[in-house]
Structure 1
Amino acid sequence: MPSGERVDVAVVGSGMGGGTFAAGLAASGAKILILERGERVADSNAVRDARAIFQQGLFRPQESWLDGAGQAFNPGNYYYVGGNTKLYGAVLIRYRAQDFEPIVHRDGTTPGWPFPYEELEPWYTVAERQYRVRGALGFDRTEPWHSKPYPFGPVPDESAIAKARERLKGVGLNPFPLPLGIDIDKWMQRAKTPWDAFPDAGHGKMDAESCGVKEALAHPNVELRTNARVDRLLVEPDGKSIAGVEVLRDGERSTISAKVVVLAAGAVNSAALLLRSGKSGLANRSDTVGRHFMNHNASAVVAIDPRVINDSVYQKTLGINDFYLDDGRGGPPLGNLQLLGRVTAPILKANIRLAPEWALGAISKRSVDWYAISEDLPNPESRVTVDGRQIRLDWKRSNWTTHEMLVKAFKERLRSAGYPIVLSRAFDRRTPSHQCGTVRIGVDPAKSPLDPFCRAWDHPNLFVIDASFLPTSAAVNPSLTIAAQALRVADHIAKNDLQRI
């Protein structure tokens, strides 16, 4: 049992779940310790160097996981203060209200959530203010009800993108301003680059470090400890409560006792940590920890018009949800479309290594780059398992026919809009396209590890607050939904658990 350092709340991970949760609970006065296995992103020329980021993989983790066939791959998850949000595209969009209900897809039906959109709506509003979201209502027919408008107006389209917007409107699509967490003036002052997949070193991206962790550390009762890898959770002799955590830092092991433990290490690592921490895994009477892994079906779609130069720098300001609630003809939904950050020649070179960069530059200057997202459905055989420290991720794609239909439908519209060359390429497992679902919430302890407030049914002082808890992947970026739920859970703990601390 832990006999050394003692805290009220230990938060494992400083990403969107952990950082936002700590900020939400900080005003309670509880002694909160955030344990982050990585360090802060240091400012350097490399943070804005596309060759260093994409070709050299400078910021990727130095680790390998195994896939379902036992083949090793480098997972593209990031270990920094702020977690994966340090390199995310800063799209802070709400799940649609319909995403909280069961949805019939071509390949199956989603289970829905244990509560409706209206339960999370107030916390979406708080999260949008905390992350200073730029957006505008009234352009997207799928937009759910908002109790308050966005705190800031949308990031402006660059001239080339404004023209692309009009071309898409001309073929019956309805582009809307993407809700974004970016101070574009501050970002561009540092260097004129996209922010999507570029690490933030404190220059205008609203990520879990610059918003969540920073807000939490403004309170004297909150501490951040970096280079602190949690290897396992420790359990009280009765097997019910979590006693604390075992930490490896600078080559030395220590234990920290905590009255509440919040696991927020990410959908894969949180599941792996629970599985390593007990003979059958912790919080696992349902045998569902690590199962139901989801990762968005995603493709890049590149629209090329040889007659038109795209001189945009950041590009990523438009979304399209015309195929989100249905396929455009009343059939099952297809998904979301949104601009990627500007894909330049050095970025293309990372994936097309045999082509000369000058030739790729000629293509890039005439292309507009899109990201197509379709929902991945929960499957108990799509799962995370562990063998010691080795993680195995056996992702079983679902709903792929739907994704192919989305890409096909969008290509047709792009060609109708005057783009004679339209190419697409699916993302593979090396790209963490919104991993989620491995420790999901529910109303039945026999079917889910967590209750609707992310508390483990088996351990009343253990919470899991990251993308793990998501019972469905929807077809939009999950960051804001994770933040909203983190704030909701922090409020619940402050009102119901802290009196016992």
Structure 2
Amino acid sequence: MSEQFDLVIIGTGAGGGTLAYALRNSGLRILLVERGDFLPQEPQNWQPVEVFDRRRYKPDETWYGADGKPFHPGVHYFVGGNTKVYGAALPRFRVQDFGVVEHEGGTSPAWPVTYDELEPYYARAEEIYAVHGSTGEDPTEPPRSGPFPFPAVPHEPYIDDLSVRLRNQGLHPFHYPMGIDLRAGGRCIRCKTCDGFPCQVLAKSESDVNCVRPAVESQNITLWTKTLAHRLLTDSTGKRVVGVELERGGEKLTVQADRFVVACGAVNSALLLLRSANDKHPNGLANSSGLVGRNYMVHNNTALMAVDPFRRNPTVYQKTMAVNDFYFRGPDFAYPMGNIQLLGKLQAGMLTAAQPLVPRPILQGMADRSVDWWVMSEDLPDPNNRIELRSDGKVIVHWKPNNLVAHRKLVEAARQMMRAAGYQFVFVQPMGIETNSHQCGTARFGVDPATSVLDPTCRTHDVENLWVVDSSFF
């Protein structure tokens, strides 16, 4: 079976879904391919034990570290991809992030585009994803051509008090830009099951709700769910993709098109290119540089729980504040350290997955009295951190964390910040190889085909009608 389209987009996450929305009125006949289905709206969406302990919405899929140890990756195969469960935080990069940045652990190279070039697209994306935010609070914020589409999500009283405590330390806590439907008459009910959970009332600004569903209202866009892309096929020259091999409903078929976009997430996009090797591309499609799958990054991440045993935290929707005072440099540290942002309110059912030996009542008591943060630092591109596809189909993730001195200093700064705010106990949990929701870097972009997979428009250097539109380009 063979079908013909003008454009095939493989993946419906933040990259593929947004692109489909942007092209919905282009007149192009577009096929949007998703390996999963629509995530069901059901009571289990908001049940911590189902989401975290039982991994209800994660695939039964195993990847392996370079040491051979298996792990279950933090990926979600649904329409909307990982945006179905993300924390809805939608910040912009800072101006300096686009240039060369010297870190304690090495150099982050410049991008082939600038903030000023992307600013109009940031503004449009914030409209599409209904971002709430405010300006003038964060000294690191970049210039903007206009205000946020919606006012900032207000702090609840307990977090408002914490904000005052942080400002009294000379810090600059700010309202974090969030994508939720908190407009007048909007769907958001400010629940505590947002960050890390699917939204049962579809109030999160996600690719599925904000982009894919409006896009498929166009008669020119066709969505195929439960459809797996196996490999891309080129013509005899290897310069053009002419088709994609799909598996749908137990049937194998080839779809032809004039253009193809890969948007499967940094790991799965790399795997699709590697699976598409042929005699013209023996090391994987668009891989003359040898960089497909390399420079894999995920951030250095630590969860921090600050507990005041004498005060309950009644906050329901907690993820409204962040601190960037250590973003470019730290106290007595000349290098960037990173970002500290509130997590959605931790609950006992979320903690038992990480601390299975601690009795649930103790975990609940801690959660009732805690403020919870995500402490995040940059990791740096390293070609030895890479995705490998074995001949037997096994996925091997070669990952050795780097730039850890800066991250440890940021964690310590966060500890001191919360102790100074009156929290006697501070607990931290570093994240490991399975926490890869921030995956990026596996098909980096640039102007030199010898040192990059994609050009500055995210088109592959080697194949003229193939683009990669997800975080692989970082």
Q: Pick the aligned partner of 1:80 from 78, 81, 84.
A: 78
Which residue number in structure 1 is paired with residue 329 of structure 2?
326
**2:214 aligned with 1:215:** yes
Aligned residues: 467
Deviates more, 1:346-355 or 1:286-295: 346-355
**Is the Cα contact below 8 Å between 2:131 and 2:177 reproduced in 1?**
yes
State the one-letter code of the partner of 1:448: S
- In the TM superposition, what is the alpha-carbon distance from 1:329 to its structure 2 partner? 4.2
TM-score (norm 2): 0.96
Tell me how far apart the structure 1 counterparts of residues 211 and 379 of structure 2 sit (CA, whole Å): 28
Which residue number in structure 1 is paired with residue 404 of structure 2?
400
Which residue number in structure 1 is paired with residue 107 of structure 2?
109
What per-residue deviation string (whole Å, max 9, x for no partner) do you get for residues 217-238 of structure 1?
1321011110000010111111
Q: Pick the aligned partner of 2:298 from 295, 300, 315.
A: 295
Which residue number in structure 1 is paired with residue 19 of structure 2?
21
Q: Pick the aligned partner of 2:362 from 341, 359, 363.
A: 359
Q: Pick the aligned partner of 1:372 from 362, 375, 378.
A: 375
Structure 1 residues 416-455: aligned runs within 5 Å: 416-455=420-459
**Is the Cα contact below 8 Å between 2:202 and 2:209 reproduced in 1?**
no
Which residue number in structure 1 is paired with residue 29 of structure 2?
31
Deviates more, 1:74-83 or 1:345-354: 345-354
- In the TM superposition, what is the alpha-carbon distance from 1:200 to its structure 2 partner? 2.6
What per-residue deviation string (whole Å, max 9, x for no partner) do you get for residues 237-292 of structure 1?
11110011100112111000011000000000000110110131011110000000
Which ranges of 4 or more aligned residues in structure 1 deviate by more than 6 Å? none
What per-residue deviation string (whole Å, max 9, x for no partner) do you get for residues 310-360 of structure 1?
011120000110000111346111000000010011111121111121111
SS at 1:287's partner residue?
coil
Structure 1 residues 265-276: aligned runs within 5 Å: 265-276=264-275
SS at 1:259's partner residue?
strand
Deviates more, 1:153-162 or 1:135-144: 153-162
**2:148 aligned with 1:150:** yes
**Is the Cα contact below 8 Å between 1:348 and 1:360 reproduced in 2?**
yes
Tell me how far apart the structure 2 counterparts of residues 360 and 307 of structure 1 sit (CA, whole Å): 15
**Is the Cα contact below 8 Å between 1:134 and 1:182 reproduced in 2?**
yes
**Is the Cα contact below 8 Å between 1:41 and 1:201 reproduced in 2?**
no
Which residue number in structure 1 is paired with residue 390 of structure 2?
387
- In the TM superposition, what is the alpha-carbon distance from 1:186 to its structure 2 partner? 4.9
SS at 1:359's partner residue?
helix
State the one-letter code of the partner of 2:434: R
Which residue number in structure 2 is paired with residue 342 of structure 1?
345
Tell me how far apart the structure 1 counterparts of residues 286 and 16 of structure 2 sit (CA, whole Å): 19
**Is the Cα contact below 8 Å between 2:6 and 2:258 reproduced in 1?**
yes
**2:178 aligned with 1:180:** yes
Q: 1:187 to 1:337 in 2, by over 3 A?
A: farther
Ranges in structure 1 where 5+ consecutive residues have no aligned partner: 471-501
- In the TM superposition, what is the alpha-carbon distance from 1:42 to its structure 2 partner? 0.7
Tell me how far apart the structure 2 counterparts of residues 63 and 413 of structure 1 sit (CA, whole Å): 39
TM-score (norm 1): 0.91
Q: 1:162 to 1:187 in 2, by over 3 A?
A: farther
Structure 1 residues 219-298: aligned runs within 5 Å: 219-278=218-277, 279-298=282-301
Q: 1:39 to 1:201 in 2, by over 3 A?
A: farther
Deviates more, 1:322-331 or 1:116-125: 322-331
Tell me how far apart the structure 2 counterparts of residues 10 and 297 of structure 1 sit (CA, whole Å): 34
Tell me how far apart the structure 2 counterparts of residues 451 and 210 of structure 1 sit (CA, whole Å): 30
Tell me how far apart the structure 2 counterparts of residues 11 and 461 of structure 1 sit (CA, whole Å): 12
Q: 1:5 to 1:201 in 2, by over 3 A?
A: farther
Tell me how far apart the structure 1 counterparts of residues 471 and 191 of structure 2 sit (CA, whole Å): 31
Tell me how far apart the structure 2 counterparts of residues 125 and 111 of structure 1 sit (CA, whole Å): 25
Tell me how far apart the structure 2 counterparts of residues 364 and 193 of structure 1 sit (CA, whole Å): 12
State the one-letter code of the partner of 1:94: R
- In the TM superposition, what is the alpha-carbon distance from 1:216 to its structure 2 partner? 1.5
- In the TM superposition, what is the alpha-carbon distance from 1:215 to its structure 2 partner? 2.7
Tell me how far apart the structure 2 counterparts of residues 352 and 139 of structure 1 sit (CA, whole Å): 36
SS at 1:248's partner residue?
strand
Which residue number in structure 2 is paired with residue 486 of structure 1?
none
**Is the Cα contact below 8 Å between 1:440 and 1:469 reproduced in 2?**
yes
SS at 2:44's partner residue?
helix
Ranges in structure 2 where 5+ consecutive residues have no aligned partner: none
Q: 1:417 to 1:193 in 2, by over 3 A?
A: closer
- In the TM superposition, what is the alpha-carbon distance from 1:193 to its structure 2 partner? 2.7
Tell me how far apart the structure 2 counterparts of residues 453 and 216 of structure 1 sit (CA, whole Å): 22
Deviates more, 1:258-267 or 1:166-175: 166-175
Which residue number in structure 2 is paired with residue 484 of structure 1?
none
**Is the Cα contact below 8 Å between 1:202 and 1:210 reproduced in 2?**
no
State the one-letter code of the partner of 2:70: A
The structure in which a higher percent of residues are helix is 1
Higher normalized contact order (CA 8 Å, seq sep 6+, divided by chain length): 1
**Is the Cα contact below 8 Å between 1:294 and 1:436 reproduced in 2?**
yes
Tell me how far apart the structure 1 counterparts of residues 46 and 413 of structure 2 sit (CA, whole Å): 34
**2:316 aligned with 1:313:** yes
